[in-house]
Structure 1
Amino acid sequence: MPQPPSAASRDEPVIRQRGDACPGALRLHAADDGFLARVRLPGGLLTGPQAAALALAADRFGDGHLELTSRGNVQLRGLADGCGAGLAELLDGAGLLPAPSHERVRNIVATPLSGLEGTDRPDALAWGMEFDRLLCASPWAAALSGRFLFAFDDGRGDVASLGPDITVLGRPEGRALVRLGRAADAVELAGPDAPRAALSAARYFLDAAAEAGTQAWRVSELPVEHALRAVEFVRRLDAAGIAAGAVGAVDWPYAPAPRPPVAGDRDRDRATLCVLPPLGRVDSAPWRVLAQVAQEGGGELRVTPWRSVILPSVNGDAPARIEDAGLVVAPDSPWETVTACTGRPGCAKSLADVRADARAVVDRARGPLPVHWSGCERRCGHPRGTAWVDLVATGTGYRITAPGRPVRHDVRPPELAAALADARTDPDVVKK
């Protein structure tokens, strides 16, 4: 399956000739359907009023929809030219722009269920929020790319599997590991020091990138001779007053994404609910239902990197209200693990309306493997950390690539449902 190469596997380093043009809430991107804004949500965390403000922004300035991204952020599309100042004012009033100079570098994911299940795992979301505060208070951090990703994992291995640049993984007895890029080894330290250590890792990357002179945006893009090393990282932590030690190869855990309906019980009257908007796209009206349910419960919601929403505390009638709004809360929905890029008409590079094609076959193309529909070879938003079926539009059909199966070329609509259902069947499951 298509995966980014590690630094050690490249013959030539990535050398960039331009700056990072990744969109943000203040730097809008011109798309075929209007301008696009990407609002970063560190840890995916939103309050009810903040969620309501995003719905207002979608209606006032955009096309009335919100898109959830593979990093737990929210995108607004169809924005009119000249709306930037009004949009920024609305977002700032909702507390969604705490550091305008840093808004594109607040790429922070955290275990969505962290702190909700009564386990002895650390609160990874609390780590992420403290790190966000430190990041925004560090002027030099604004030099990071809008693609650089930090992950705070409570030890189960869900967000650690997303290919972060800096990973913090919770360990027993209040300890934590920090991994640099995709290195096999890591650095161990006390859990309370994890946010400061992650910030030090970001500074280490920027220093290495400046020395390399290749304008690397991510850890994996550094030339081999400038790769980040655990021993040097320990030295830097020691200079910052953080006790740490390098550890050898680590057996990194893996956990799948949360699935509907109930992700974890709180008590008899309230539960934690996982909500799935099909293809990660939701109208402003059902989004307001989520905001209202959140307000009636614990006051917050969490957008996940798997384009779902966790409501930490809901009452008994919330699932029915949410389902009536057109969102998925039932188990075994055909929309589980089905994702897609924007496709036509929003993206000029797309060769197909992938969302419409996915909707046309979703009920007839079920299977255990995730599937991602891409309108072009860029495969924007594809799954990470797991095996997946890769559909790429070719202009005359779709190319289907699946684990353990021969590639199928130019599969056309009449055969698409059957071909996809076959591709989504794990060969190992068939053998059993």
Structure 2
Amino acid sequence: MVMTRSEPDSCPGVLRLHEAADGPLARIRVPGGRLNPEQLQTLAEAARDLGDGRIELTSRGNVQLRGMRDAAALEQRLTAAGLLPSATHERVRNIIASPLSGRVGGIADVHGLVPPLDAGLRGAPRLADLPGRVLFTLDDGRGDVSGLGGDIGVHGVDGENFALLLGGADSGLRVPADAAVQLMLTAAHEFLDLREGRWRVHEIEDGPRRLADRLLLAHPGLDTTATRVETTAPQDIPIGWLTQGDDLVTLGAGVRLGSLEARVAEFVAAIERPIYLTPWRSLIITDLEEWAAEQVVRVLAPLGLIFDANSPWLQVSACAGQPGCAKSLTDVRADLAEAVETARVLPPSTPAFPRDSLLPEEVVASGRQHWSGCSRHCGRPRGPVTDVTATPTGYRIDPPES
């Protein structure tokens, strides 16, 4: 798809808030999704003291705080916590990494690539001009993040080499692990030379191929292959008890509609273990002894975190809806919550059919589904998904094409 943008990139950050219908919204980049306990505590306190009391998890492993009442105080708190290390580059630090990498499965540990990639982005003044929508992906070979629509990424093919992904697809270029970050940064510079006002690599005519050609000219020693890595968008959220390679335990915790109450976030921070935000709007709590993991589940499950991989909450997502979005026709999150609680979210194996002009209580949909307050379908996940869309005459259900 080729697209010409006439409007400037308006992605929000901390220093440029978005004026949502329910008040100013701040988006905080969390490269690789990694938070230390002190940082999560800072976010919880900011949400409680300055916002609406919730931390929103995004599909890029970042966070949003809504209803911000004091932008200066937020900036001060986040800077002190190391969550705003650059005023010039804050919105370009969009890096997703395989959340379980180095602990459970995978071919290569990609978390070690996050700090140098982030530092490289912040260290190049010109890269501050990257659009806020550009996404970097680091996949450890399991295929969990390569299909999420990244612009520039690497995908582990063995313990020592990565495939370079451009526009979400394998470019055929191969790079050793110790050169992967530098090649990604070079690709970012080359994208700026090619973009001509476009925001994403796939929006440039023949963008991935042209970008790959430029990289080959800059690095003629790069290996190439005709064998391509397939990139899909699996909805395989890591949930529950996961045994690490060192016999410690990782816990995957689902968050209902990606909205984490500040009070619950403070309980998670009190565990004092590394936390990872996933692009499926869930949490990964790592490096736990077995007894500690059991206690965490006992405390956090009653507070609403999800440790059951079969929970219907893991099948559903929604846009902001009312009152957060002025374009929404209804409060889709409240309607969706009612559908889950009254068992109207059916298992994936249940046949689904298109329906139209439905009252909220008449909506019954099966499998993975996204509820939208209007036809823009903001926040819709990649891959096959049933669309439940609010219209002026009621909800419309559109199952995925078979």
Please confirm whether the aligned pair reaches a TM-score higher than 0.5, indicating the same fold. Answer: yes
**1:246-287 C-alpha deviation (Å, 9 max, x unpaired):** 32251325554333212334566x410001110000110011
Q: State the match for 1:223 in structure 2.
A: 205
Separation (CA, whole Å) in 2 of partners of 1:248 and 1:376: 42
Shift of 1:303: 0.3
Aligned AA (1:373): W
Separation (CA, whole Å) in 1 of partners of 2:210 and 2:136: 15
Separation (CA, whole Å) in 2 of partners of 1:257 and 1:226: 27
Shift of 1:183: 4.1
Shift of 1:36: 0.2
Shift of 1:229: 4.0
After superposition, the Cα gap between the structure-2 partners of 1:251 and 1:288, relative to the gap in structure 1 and judged at 3 Å, is same
Segment of structure 1 superposing worse, 350-359 or 368-377: 368-377
Shift of 1:84: 1.4
Q: State the match for 1:170 in structure 2.
A: 156
Separation (CA, whole Å) in 2 of partners of 1:147 and 1:120: 27
- Contact in 1 for aligned 2:187/2:211 (Cα 8 Å): no
Unaligned runs of 5+ in 1: 1-6, 8-12, 406-432
Q: Which aligned pairs between 1:179-198 and structure 2 lie closer than 5 A?
A: 179-183=165-169, 185-198=171-184
Q: State the match for 2:267 in structure 1.
A: 289
Work out which of the residue numbers 235, 251, 255 in structure 1 matches 2:217. 235
Shift of 1:364: 2.3
Aligned AA (2:48): D
- Contact in 1 for aligned 2:166/2:208 (Cα 8 Å): no
Work out which of the residue numbers 14, 21, 27 in structure 2 matches 1:38. 27
**1:51-94 C-alpha deviation (Å, 9 max, x unpaired):** 000001101110111100011111000112xx111110000000
Unaligned runs of 5+ in 2: 349-366
TM-score, normalised by the number of residues in structure 1: 0.83
- Contact in 2 for aligned 1:156/1:253 (Cα 8 Å): no
1:112 aligned onto 2:99: yes
1:273 aligned onto 2:257: no
Shift of 1:120: 6.5
Q: % of aligned pairs identical?
A: 41
1:124 aligned onto 2:110: yes
Segment of structure 1 superposing worse, 142-151 or 178-187: 178-187
Aligned AA (2:23): G
Shift of 1:135: 0.8
Q: State the match for 2:353 in structure 1.
A: none
1:367 aligned onto 2:347: yes
Q: State the match for 1:4 in structure 2.
A: none
Q: State the match for 2:190 in structure 1.
A: 204
- Contact in 2 for aligned 1:184/1:249 (Cα 8 Å): no
Shift of 1:395: 2.5
User: RMSD between aligned alpha carbons?
Assistant: 1.8
After superposition, the Cα gap between the structure-2 partners of 1:283 and 1:120, relative to the gap in structure 1 and judged at 3 Å, is closer
Work out which of the residue numbers 39, 45, 52 in structure 2 matches 1:63. 52
Q: State the match for 2:295 in structure 1.
A: 317
Aligned length: 377
TM-score, normalised by the number of residues in structure 2: 0.89
**1:331-381 C-alpha deviation (Å, 9 max, x unpaired):** 311101211111001100111111011111112212223111111122111
SS at match of 1:317: helix
Separation (CA, whole Å) in 2 of partners of 1:67 and 1:133: 25
Aligned AA (2:287): S
